[in-house]
Amino acid sequence: MKKDVAYVRPDTLEHALAFLKEAGKTSRVLAGGTDVVAGLRSGMLKGVCLVDISGLAELKGIEEKDGEVCIGSGVTLSEIFASEAVARVAPALQNAARVFGSRQIRNMATIGGNICRASPAGDTLPVLYAQDAQLELVSSFSSRRVPLRDFIRGPGHTALGAEEVLRGVRLKRAPGMSMHRFEKVGNRKVLAVSIVSLAALLRLSDRGIIESARLAWGSVAPTVVRSTQVEKSLTGKPLTAETLGQVSSLIQEAISPIDDIRASAAYRRRAAVGLLFRLLKDREPCG
């Protein structure tokens, strides 16, 4: 590690919070560390002290209680993929974990890191938005709970204070949802940053009528887009190609994609609509 970057590894959350309080803005929390090498090479971490919280037991574990699952911020994507509790409460999150990078990356990357990085392309984020995730933030002198939608303010920007740590994520079971899906478009099925992604939770009647919908798109705006207009427009209608086609213009109004090295804005617009039509394939209920 470069000499202009310091490193500490506290053995308890209390010690980590005390160090963050003392160091203030010169510190940077390190969890899975999958972005650290790039940060070191670019010089973005010059003068920073990395506070390694990856081994803290207080940030580990997945607990299910009363239809809610609490996932420690230090839980890896591999652990999420293997979790029966996540499969019961948030199966779409398990689907997102399955296509998150390589096995080696999933073994290192944490859900807390994916959230705090605040990338519009973060694979877990659309699912967390669709399930109204709540975040537990702690410092040496306080704790608070913040909705994810209020926490992420833009690419790489969050409401996390300099002395705070994300302790965990809370997800409530979405009542009656018979379809839990995560879909993504990338240059490859896995090992690729999402060009566009979609988390979709639907409650369908026995006749295939959409009784409730939660939809959230990633990589189509500075933050994840959840359109209540699209959701309301689908409610009460059958899940058919005709119905989905009727909301395509609303999707286009809700998103604001950009051109970058992975795809053009025009392609992303087409893909955002196209992912919705994937819900017609293999419609067997899950979750």
pLDDT confidence of residue 147: 98
Contact criterion met (CB below 8 Å) for 16 and 8: no
pLDDT confidence of residue 50: 85
Question: If you compute the radius of gyration of the chain from its CA atoms, what whole number of angstroms results?
Answer: 19
Q: How far apart are CA 48 and CA 44, in angstroms?
A: 9
Listed residues 172, 193, 210: the one ending a domain: 172
CATH number of residue 40's parent domain: 3.30.43
- Identify whether residues 217 and 190 lie together within a single domain: yes
By C-alpha distance, which of 230, 193, 185, 190 is closest to 212? Answer: 230
- Identify whether residues 271 and 191 lie together within a single domain: yes
pLDDT confidence of residue 187: 67
The answer to whether residue 131 sits within a structural domain is yes
Along the chain (287 residues), what's the average pLDDT of each consecutive run of 10 residues? 74 93 80 66 72 93 94 97 96 94 89 94 96 96 96 95 94 92 78 86 96 97 96 98 97 96 94 96 54
pLDDT confidence of residue 214: 97
- Identify whether residues 209 and 276 lie together within a single domain: yes
- Identify whether residues 134 and 76 lie together within a single domain: yes
When divided into structural domains, the chain yields a total of 3
Q: How far apart are CA 279 and CA 234, in angstroms?
A: 13
pLDDT confidence of residue 160: 94
Strands 179-185 and 196-204: antiparallel
- Identify whether residues 197 and 261 lie together within a single domain: yes
pLDDT confidence of residue 1: 42
Listed residues 172, 195, 212: the one ending a domain: 172
- Identify whether residues 105 and 198 lie together within a single domain: no
- Identify whether residues 162 and 69 lie together within a single domain: yes
The answer to whether residue 287 sits within a structural domain is no
Q: How far apart are CA 105 and CA 102, in angstroms?
A: 5
CATH number of residue 89's parent domain: 3.30.465.10
Q: How far apart are CA 260 and CA 222, in angstroms?
A: 13
Range of the domain at 203: 179-280
Sheet of 6-8, strands arranged across: 6-8, 49-52, 27-30
Contact criterion met (CB below 8 Å) for 48 and 72: no
Q: Which position has the token pair 């999707």? A: 251
Q: What is the pTM of this model?
A: 0.91
- SS3 state at 23: helix
